[in-house]
Amino acid sequence: DAKTTQPPSMDCAEGRAANLPCNHSTISGNEYVYWYRQIHSQGPQYIIHGLKNNETNEMASLIITEDRKSSTLILPHATLRDTAVYYCIVGKGGAGSYQLTFGKGTKLSVIP
């Protein structure tokens, strides 16, 4: 699976948009980009995933560059409850072995 690079930490003011970047320059054509987050003392929680088109759900938006070498997770109106470690993961979503290989993620702190 392709490796990802994320900043170790970021701050965001409450109510503002949080933009979390991820580099995955070695991604292959059939690999998806997944985002999970882990709030303190809890298990990881799925947020969103995409292949090459931008995606949006009730939690966040995922913007993938045209060359698919990087992506950005956007939390449109960050709240204190969004303080967590955010993991960007690249892996195969189709038939075959599907695994989530976690890196160290980005620790997002939402500040009042």
Partner 1 sequence: EAGVAQSPRYKIIEKRQSVAFWCNPISGHATLYWYQQILGQGPKLLIQFQNNGVVDDSQLPKDRFSAERLKGVDSTLKIQPAKLEDSAVYLCASSLERWNTEAFFGQGTRLTVV
Least separation in angstroms between CB 99 and partner 1: 6
Q: Which is closer to partner 1, CB of 21 or CB of 93? A: 93
Contact 24, 90 (CB under 8 A): yes
Distance of alpha carbon 62 from alpha carbon 71, whole angstroms: 7
Nearer to partner 1, 26 or 30 (CB): 30
Per rule CB under 8 A, count of chain residues that contact partner 1: 25
Q: Which of residues 43-102 bind partner 1 (CB under 8 A)?
A: 43-46, 49, 85, 87, 92-102
Q: How far is CA 48 from CA 13, 28, 51, 85, 105, in A?
A: 22, 19, 11, 15, 15
Q: In the block, which residue shows the tokens 């976690």?
A: 102
In this chain, which stretch among 13-21, 37-45, 63-71, 73-81 interacts with partner 1, using CB under 8 A? 37-45
- Nearest residue (CB) to partner 1, 40 versus 112: 40
Angstrom distances, CA of residue 86 to CA of 12, 13, 24, 51: 13, 17, 15, 19
Site residues for partner 1 per CB under 8 A: 32, 34, 41-46, 49, 85, 87, 92-105
